Structure 1
Amino acid sequence: MIPAEFGATPWGRCWTRTVETTATAVPNPLLPKARSIARNHGATLTTEVGVVTAKVVVSGAESTVRIELPPWPEETKHDAERLIAKSLAANPGLATGDLPDSLEAEFTAAGITFAVPLAEQVATCDCRTRKRPCVHILAGLYALSMRVDERPRLAVELRMDSAAAAEDADPDWIPLTDLDPATFYG
């Protein structure tokens, strides 16, 4: 079986479902083009709490996309922090940026959603297309799905700014400035 290109993990799958909704009678004809743009690295993302920005290049023309995501209410943040702490304690040794897939199921059972439906996002694009979401916004969301698949912790970080979502330092990473070139090769 070939792994999914978008939504390979439950974390990324939730973001893919925001784009590929089954609530409409007709599929969005922009989706194949948006997937192609994301697949071919045509969308470069920058993420921070509550905001995803993307530079999307289509046929040599660059568009800037900004997607604002509503933060979780305080009660939801506390519930999420509790679930994350419990899950990380039960799964020691996870790679930096990883979260167990079982945690996504616990979030769902607790009624906590991290992927924001299109109707609740404030998405803007500087392209001239009037139809929203445009192909650039959709490509940005597909690229976000791929990024969340690679680093599930991002799904939580986008919705809350807290110590529970903070990235632990990678013990195998050393800044290059800390290395002495004269003694590095022995």
Structure 2
Amino acid sequence: MSWMGMWVVGALPDSAVRAVREQHGAQPWSGAAAEYREDLAWWAAQPPVALTRESAQPLAELMLCHVELAEAAEAEEACLQQLSGTPAEGVFVAGARKTHPPAALCHGLGPGATGLLPGRFGSFLLTADEVRSALPEVERALAVGGHRRAVVAERIEEWLERLGNGSQHQAGEFLDGPLRVLRYAERAGDGAVGCWRTY
């Protein structure tokens, strides 16, 4: 069966983020932080192996456990509906067949740099204050160049090709797109959301 994974990252008015938090709570994004750190440490301790669908399955399933949360579904949908009012500069959408774009990004970054991103594995809901606080570490993780950027891009493409059927996006867009959105949100005084979706 064919399916597509999507990653939506967008800027939202701070008031909208706070309204979603008030209605649905912050737990889907802020809960289980200790477990997330433990899982990142487990990932970091794994010996390097050739990437295959079988070898990547434990990590892929681990990521899904942190981001496909039933209690977050309504809140994420409410956020996505409000992105229609966000300028193009403040939205990044990536799709890939038979895999999830943020999983490819996290594989490319590795556990250390993934741990610098807000939320969990690309899933987050941030107020404007939280965007400002998170941006320096996001810059450290994503604003890379030279050899580091080439290595990360190669690993992103590796995941997309071996676990999925590629993507219409260049690997560099997985670094530049979410960074662009969070920089925009910081300048605009907005909050931000990141959602995994499966269709």
Please indicate the TM-score interval, normalised by the length of the shorter structure.
0.3 to 0.5
TM-score normalised by structure 2 residue count: 0.32
Bigger Rg, structure 1 or 2: 1
**Higher helix fraction (1 or 2):** 2
